[in-house]
Structure formats: structure tokens, C-alpha cells
Chain A
């Protein structure tokens, strides 16, 4: 008998091993796997929605602090300053051009990174890719 007799036809022990029944999983295992993966309830807010809500919340807190600490005059002055800076920035052609370039780049990058389907290549896998 050589070391690699595993290449030979199946013997009685091989057949006995291959004929063993699989262990019965505990009840509810499949349901708990599915609940943690495929059927996991979608989160109420996406990452971007949460970011936006966080930013809006921070601005609201800042305005509230202005009102409480400095009164109405400081609040009005700050809001007026912000509005005038925003208006002058958005009426500047160069600023608008940079904003457009940034937005276009973000859209272009998202085309390469979001929801890329798996290709059905016929080649064998390389080294294992265990997460």
C-alpha cells in the first residue's frame, strides 16, 4: 500500500464515510442565519441620510447656542454673514466650476465602485480569498 492510495477506487471505508448522514442542525439555525443576513431588516436611514441628519443637527445646535448666548442680534448678524458669503461664493464662476468638477468626479468614481456584478469567468480560482 502506498501513501497515495487515495487515488485508487473507493474502498469499503471510503464508501462508509461518504455514506454517513449529515448532522441535523439545531432547529431555528437557518432562520437565525437568514435574519442576520439576507432578511435583515433594512436600517431606517442610510449612511448618507445619517450624515446629513447629523450635519443638520449640528447646525441647529450651533444656532440654538448663538440665540441663547448672544441673543437675537448675534443670531441675525451670523445668519446675514453666512448668507452673504454663500451668495458671493455661488455667484463666482470659478467656485461653481470647481463644485461641478468635484460632483462629476464623485459620480464617475461611483460608477466603478458601486454594485459591480460578479462576472462568470471560467478560470479556476487562485489562492483562497477567505474573509
Chain B
């Protein structure tokens, strides 16, 4: 449960000129939005830009936010679309697959650190195809609110469940493979 006013109230307060209210929304969601952007883009700078762009667009379009909708779903959807635009631009520019580990902040010494369970899982998620990576990341952020995930991705709920099922199947295979490789 969040302390303080609900997200909808904060949106209303922002529209009435209370800038602190929007600051509270940023504090609540900047980390989750960055997480989604980073998992989608695999690059610190791009994820940072996509996060900024998402909040900027949300702030500018706050009047179009539907009363009764969830702010988290709305901001995730904006961020997801910002990431998709960047991925499309990358594919257009490079016309090749995304690098497996494109994060410039990670040096070779960090690569050499033994993988614990969480980092193995993170690595396995990163190697999933884009559509499965998105659904697993949103499952991570929103839990089993499939309707909200479907809204963010603009997909039918059945497709979301199918993608999640297939993503988990792939994850299990990848994690088994990593165990074999590491031992």
C-alpha cells in the first residue's frame, strides 16, 4: 500500500498547479520506469533517455489521462512505446540484432564475477526475444495484473498469458543450460 495520496489524486493536484504532486509521482515510479526501459534497451544512456522522455510526455499530456485509469499502467505504456521507438531506430540504423551485452557501464571485471541466482535470471531474461522480455519485465513490475500488462503492450490478454507462458518455458530452458555450462 502506498503512503500518501493515491496516484489519481496526485494527477488531479498536478493539473491544479501543484508541482510537488507530480514530483511525488516521479519518486514513486522513476525506478520502475527506468527498470522497464533498461530491460528493454540494455543500455544505460538509452534507458535514461527513454525514462526522461516518458515522464516528460506524461507531464505534457496529463490532461489526457483518463480518470479511473492506473497511472502506473499509463506511464509504463508511454515508456514501453518510447523503448519500442528506440529499438526500431536501432534496427533501422544498424539492421542487425541487438548486442547481447550492450551495457557500457559493465566492465570485464564485473563480467568475471560469478553469477548468483538473481543475476543468472536477469541474464536469462535479457536473452529472451523482445516481446517475451517485455511481458516478463511487466510481470515483474505489475505482478499478475494481466489486464494492465495487456493495456501497456496493446495486446489481448490471452496473448499476454501465452507470451508469459512461452517466456517462462524459455527461461527454464536457459537457466538449465546455464547450470550445465557453469558446472
A: residues with CB less than 8 A from B are: 3-7, 13-14, 16-26, 29-30, 32-34, 36-39, 115-126, 128-131
- Whether A126 contacts B140 by the Cβ 8 Å rule is no
B171 at the binding interface (Cβ < 8 Å)? yes
Hey, which chain B residues are within 8 Å of A122, CB to CB? 68
How many Å lie between the Cα of A19 and that of B140 in the bound state? 8
Q: Given A13-B168, A33-B51, A131-B61, is A4 in contact with B77 using a C-beta cutoff of 8 Å?
A: no
How many Å lie between the Cα of A67 and that of B81 in the bound state? 57
**Contact size range, B:** 35 or more
11 CB-based A-B contacts, threshold 8 Å: A4-B161, A6-B144, A20-B122, A22-B32, A23-B35, A24-B31, A29-B48, A33-B30, A117-B16, A118-B15, A125-B68
The dominant DSSP class at the A interface is loop
Chain A to chain B: the 7 pairs with minimum beta-carbon distance, closest first = A125-B69, A131-B61, A37-B59, A38-B19, A38-B22, A25-B34, A118-B12
- Whether B56 contacts A36 by the Cβ 8 Å rule is yes
- Whether B9 contacts A120 by the Cβ 8 Å rule is yes
B: residues with CB less than 8 A from A are: 8-9, 11-12, 14-17, 19-20, 22-23, 26-27, 30-32, 34-35, 38-39, 44, 47-48, 51-52, 55-61, 63-70, 73-74, 77-78, 81, 117-118, 121-122, 125, 136, 139-140, 143-144, 146, 151-152, 154, 158, 161-162, 164-165, 168, 171-172, 175
Point out the residue from A6, A29, A120, A128 that lies within 8 Å of B34, measured CB to CB: A29
Q: Given A129-B69, A131-B57, A131-B58, is A34 in contact with B151 using a C-beta cutoff of 8 Å?
A: no
How many Å lie between the Cα of A32 and that of B52 in the bound state? 8
Q: Given A33-B26, A37-B56, A38-B20, is A115 in contact with B15 using a C-beta cutoff of 8 Å?
A: yes
Hey, which chain A residues are within 8 Å of B11, CB to CB? 118
Point out the residue from B23, B27, B44, B48 that lies within 8 Å of A39, measured CB to CB: B23
- Whether A4 contacts B165 by the Cβ 8 Å rule is yes
How many Å lie between the Cα of A3 and that of B168 in the bound state? 11
